[in-house]
Structure 1
Amino acid sequence: MEKVVFPKPVPAERQPPGLTPEIVLPGIPEDERVWVPVYPGAWIRPLLLNKTHGYWTSLLRVRAAGVVSCHRHPAPVHGLVLKGSWRYLEHDWVAREGDYVFEPPGETHTLVVDEDVEEMITWFLVSGSMIYMDEQGRTTGFTDVFDRIEICRKHYASVGLGADYVDQFIR
């Protein structure tokens, strides 16, 4: 077998001035304090909170069966199921471990985790916002990247990690 030779890393002084630092995070965290509660039985683990472009990416973890939320997005959403499964009431498919989900802008859907799922973890990339809806399709609230930052900041302060713990995810 032929040996692969990797190039040497680029010295720091060859990077463009003002380059935003990369984010490299370990796998799914075991420290429960890192998980931010967002709904009863549901938490997020922020990965990137991008204020400049108005999106966030995070892991959503659900450990309770039932409806997580009914919402709509004005921009596309991407998801990859890492553990467990979930579905939308409005569709006849189930997103299972390893499945990729693309949500087109404007679609309203109700995320549900079924009784037989002990834990669901899905990576989501959300552009824009989540607009929460009631059963009649009326807007009841919203979440955007700025809201996510504040929710995380308050949570991290309350669990002893410090309000500035969230800063590592902000770009």
Structure 2
Amino acid sequence: MATQMKAPPSTKKAIVEVPFNYSSLVKRHSPGGRYVDAQTDADSPWVPFGETAAIKHLAFDVRRNLFSNILWVKGPGTIGTHFHRGTISMVVLEGSVRYLEYDWVATPGGLILEVPGEAHTLVTEHPDGVKLFGWMEGPIEFYDENAVLIETTDVWWMMNHYETYCKEQGIPINPKLYL
């Protein structure tokens, strides 16, 4: 019979100094934990992504070619066919979305997992579109209707997307977004 695991009790509302042999190294080299406000534009603005979509950039990790953002397709529409060379994890925040290549529709709270080596065509038919929170790793290649490569996006592309927009709009670059 398996033992039922229980959460350890919490008896004290205070910072507890946990012993760790390398805490001084962590203090010197870790960027530390941080909070990024995704509800307002205080930490990151909505940056246009084509005519009907926008991206709110949340994190850039150049060591792993990893980036996090919220993609907002503002009404019924499509994000063209794209090929993943890394893993993608997304959660639907608002609206709904599907891929032409699958028979499911993702709704708020739903988790979408994508693996390297697959191509998808993202579609939302929801009147309010869709907002997707995601962590993306590696390049994403975008293709036209003839399977001709149009653009490759990765952490560097996303950083440039964010920084170029901020500079054009006179918005300070937020160092909290860089891991």
TM-score band w.r.t. shorter chain: 0.7 to 0.9
The answer to whether structure 1 residue 99 and structure 2 residue 106 are counterparts is no
Structure 1, unaligned runs of 5 or more? none
> Percent sequence identity over matched residues?
23
CA shift digits 1:109-137 (9 cap, x unpaired): 001111x3314111111100110012232
Q: Provide, for residues 55-100 of structure 1, a one-character-per-residue CA deviation record: whole Å limited to 9, x for no partner.
A: 1011111113111221011111101001111111111111110000
- Flag structure 2 segments of 5+ consecutive residues without an equivalent: 1-8
Corresponding position of 2:177 = 169
Aligned position for 1:132: 142
Q: Over aligned residue pairs, what C-alpha RMSD do you find?
A: 2.5
Cα shift at 1:3 = 8.1
- Contact (CA 8 Å) 1:50, 1:170: kept in 2 or not? yes
**What TM-score, normalized to structure 2?**
0.82
What is the match of residue 166 of structure 2?
156
Distance 2:177 2:41 in 1: 18
Q: Deviations over 1:30-77 (max 9, x none)?
A: 56x711111221111111111111110111111131112210111111
Runs of 4+ in 1 over 3 A off after TM superposition: 9-16
In 2, distance between residues paired with 1:3 and 1:127?
35
Matched, 1:84 2:95: yes
1:23, distance to aligned residue in structure 2 (A): 2.4
Query: Residue 155 of structure 2 aligns with which residue?
Result: 145
